[in-house]
Amino acid sequence: MFFSALTVWLLQLYLGLVASKPHKLERAISGLKPQLSSGAVITLPWDKRWDELQIRATSPRLVPHYSVVVEAATESDVQATVALASRFNIPFLAVSGGHGWTSTLDKLPYGIQINLRKLNTTTVNHDGKTATVGGGTLQHEIVRSLFAKGKYTTTGLCECTSVAGPLLGGGHSYLQGQYGYVLDNLVSARVVTASGELVEASSTKNPDLFWALRGAGHNFGIMTSFTMKVYDVASNWTAYSILFASDKVEALFDLVNEFEEPSSKRPAKMALTAAVIRLPPIDPIKPVISFTLVYEGPEHEAAPYAAQFQALGPISTRISNMKYQELYAATHNGLDAQPCVKNNNMVGAGISVPAWDLKGVREAITIFGNLSADPRFSKSTILLENYGMQGVRAVDPSLTSLPLEERQLPGLASPILFWEGEDEQTTQDAHDYVRRIKEALFLGVDKNNGTRHSYLNYANGDESRQELYGYGEKLEKLVRLKKIWDSENRFGFYNSLV
């Protein structure tokens, strides 16, 4: 007993406190090396690739304090690393896309980064209806692999995030109107749990874990691979990029609200997204709204919907026809686009609403006008998105731990602030702007005495658990399951349930 306690203490000391003494730290993890596959790589702070492996989308704002990085090449590498970490009480964090922006990630005091990027294969299964996906696969990888076989699935809007990260908290997608959220398309998962055990989770195997993974998954384990439903690519897409001056804000969001009314004949194949941006060559004083209507189908089918927006008198309209995989670059969400840039200070916040409150949106845009005039934040944006809810609402809400609100509220907003440099004042100003924009966009909800819901994957880390995981019984069940699957809260660095 005494010896194991001593070992734990020594390991913590090596990993956390005396990381500057290379030979000691090396000794501490040398026990792991023989257990790993030949493809796994251990990187220590004095190794050449260390800095490269620390870079996150949100660094330097968020820098989890790793003492060692283990790049896992097989699921047993993940298992061995988690088992060692749990045995010696060493904190750890899985990393796939590195695009998580919630501030709770920064609470990792020291410990192991379990990098999953080598687990990046996508294989369409013989049934042609499912694909098996590696736990560290990125969106651009799955999209291209599936497309080569004439398939696609509910992927998110940016090429650079992982598939697993968004899935575990929901996963908004251009395809959600037809097929539900990314997590609604999960068929099964192979999961390394807190003890280092590898289990399968599906509707028949460990169904409670399967339920918890789909909505609060970051809290329950590491998915080394998973099986998702895939679909035959049906047709090309038509995209309308419509630019509005800021004086059209009320008319524009009034019309978007009409599309979300229960009586609306909104097609499931259509998604509506808006980004408030600064574009000085078009308007040197005020922000503009870059509005996108994407539709899976030919232009003549999309045209009647787009015509309603064009009738509002935009500055310009650009129409293009393309394949699903080309939508990423066309909507400025490709690998080279601003949202995908790494090592870029960034902060956001999730705001889910039943309808756009026009006064609130106007106020948010006024605040944005001031912030984006400040050169420190000129690349920032506010996203105001309505992806479509038919597919999402078609799923029985009790099947997943995803909060009910996430299936009910069609409007999803987030201020996204980018800035360079590390000075405290700028960081504080960024958080202050985000808070003010969030308050403005929740005006309508507050006015109607509603409860606030924030999308887990857009959370900035200061929300209550109810705001993220819901106000009903699901949260209680999640907490009960957490005690069973991860009683020590080892998976506690992404908006912890407990």
Ligand X SMILES: Cc1cc2nc3c(=O)[nH]c(=O)nc-3n(C[C@H](O)[C@H](O)[C@H](O)COP(=O)(O)OP(=O)(O)OC[C@H]3O[C@@H](n4cnc5c(N)ncnc54)[C@H](O)[C@@H]3O)c2cc1C
Minimum distance of ligand X from residue 448's CB (angstroms): 26
Minimum distance of ligand X from residue 70's CB (angstroms): 13
CA geometry: angle 241, 242, 244, nearest 5 deg: 145
Question: Hey, which bits of 129-245 come out as E strands?
Answer: 130-134, 151-152, 186-192, 198-202, 222-229, 231-232, 237-245
Distance CA 278, CA 282 (A): 9
Q: Are 387 and 271 in contact (CB under 8 A)?
A: yes
Distance CA 442, CA 242 (A): 26
Answer yes or no whether residue 418 interacts with ligand X by CB under 6 A. Answer: no
Answer yes or no whether residue 116 interacts with ligand X by CB under 6 A. Answer: yes
Among 68, 158, 276, 417, binds ligand X (CB under 6 A): 158
Q: How many CA atoms lie within 13 A of 162 on its CB side?
A: 32
CA nearest to 363, candidates 307, 440, 305 = 440
Structure tokens at 472: 């009903």
Tally Cβ neighbours within 10 Å of residue 216. 32
* Sign of the Cα pseudo-torsion (404, 97, 232, 387, in order): positive
The window from 46-54, 98-106, 298-306, 375-383 that contacts ligand X (CB under 6 A) reads 98-106
Measured from the CB atom, the residue of 257 and 273 that comes closer to ligand X is 273
Fill in the amino acid letter for 455. Y
Answer yes or no whether residue 175 interacts with ligand X by CB under 6 A. Answer: no
Minimum distance of ligand X from residue 24's CB (angstroms): 27
Minimum distance of ligand X from residue 304's CB (angstroms): 27
Interface size with ligand X, residues (CB under 6 A): 32
Q: Are 114 and 94 in contact (CB under 8 A)?
A: yes
Q: Which residues touch 424 (CB under 8 Å, ≥6 apart)?
A: none
Minimum distance of ligand X from residue 334's CB (angstroms): 11
The window from 29-37, 150-158, 461-469, 480-488 that contacts ligand X (CB under 6 A) reads 150-158
Tally Cβ neighbours within 10 Å of residue 466. 15
Tally Cβ neighbours within 10 Å of residue 178. 19
Among 291, 305, 469, 494, binds ligand X (CB under 6 A): 494
Residue bearing tokens 């310009």: 316
Answer yes or no whether residue 212 interacts with ligand X by CB under 6 A. Answer: no
Among 67, 77, 79, 99, binds ligand X (CB under 6 A): 99
* Sign of the Cα pseudo-torsion (381, 384, 389, 395, in order): positive
Measured from the CB atom, the residue of 98 and 267 that comes closer to ligand X is 98
Measured from the CB atom, the residue of 114 and 443 that comes closer to ligand X is 114
Answer yes or no whether residue 409 interacts with ligand X by CB under 6 A. Answer: no
Answer yes or no whether residue 340 interacts with ligand X by CB under 6 A. Answer: yes
Considering only residues 455-474, where is the footprint of ligand X by CB under 6 A? 457
Cis peptide before 403 (omega within 30 of 0): no
The window from 156-164, 258-266, 371-379, 468-476 that contacts ligand X (CB under 6 A) reads 156-164
Distance CA 285, CA 373 (A): 8
Among 111, 215, 339, 350, binds ligand X (CB under 6 A): 339
Minimum distance of ligand X from residue 391's CB (angstroms): 14
Pairing of strands 151-152, 130-134: unpaired
Answer yes or no whether residue 96 interacts with ligand X by CB under 6 A. Answer: yes
Answer yes or no whether residue 170 interacts with ligand X by CB under 6 A. Answer: yes
Pairing of strands 92-95, 112-115: parallel
Helix (H) or strand (E) run with residue 316 in it:
strand 316-322
Answer yes or no whether residue 85 interacts with ligand X by CB under 6 A. Answer: no
Among 91, 111, 166, 492, binds ligand X (CB under 6 A): 166
Answer yes or no whether residue 356 interacts with ligand X by CB under 6 A. Answer: no
Distance CA 82, CA 15 (A): 15
The window from 163-171, 277-285, 319-327, 354-362 that contacts ligand X (CB under 6 A) reads 163-171
Measured from the CB atom, the residue of 139 and 241 that comes closer to ligand X is 139
Minimum distance of ligand X from residue 270's CB (angstroms): 16
Q: Are 414 and 349 in contact (CB under 8 A)?
A: yes
Structure tokens at 278: 């600064």
Answer yes or no whether residue 93 interacts with ligand X by CB under 6 A. Answer: yes
Answer yes or no whether residue 98 interacts with ligand X by CB under 6 A. Answer: yes
Minimum distance of ligand X from residue 441's CB (angstroms): 17
Considering only residues 247-306, where is the footprint of ligand X by CB under 6 A? none
What is the contact surface with ligand X in residues (CB under 6 A)? 57, 93-101, 116, 135, 156-158, 160-162, 164-166, 168, 170-172, 218, 222-223, 339-340, 457, 494
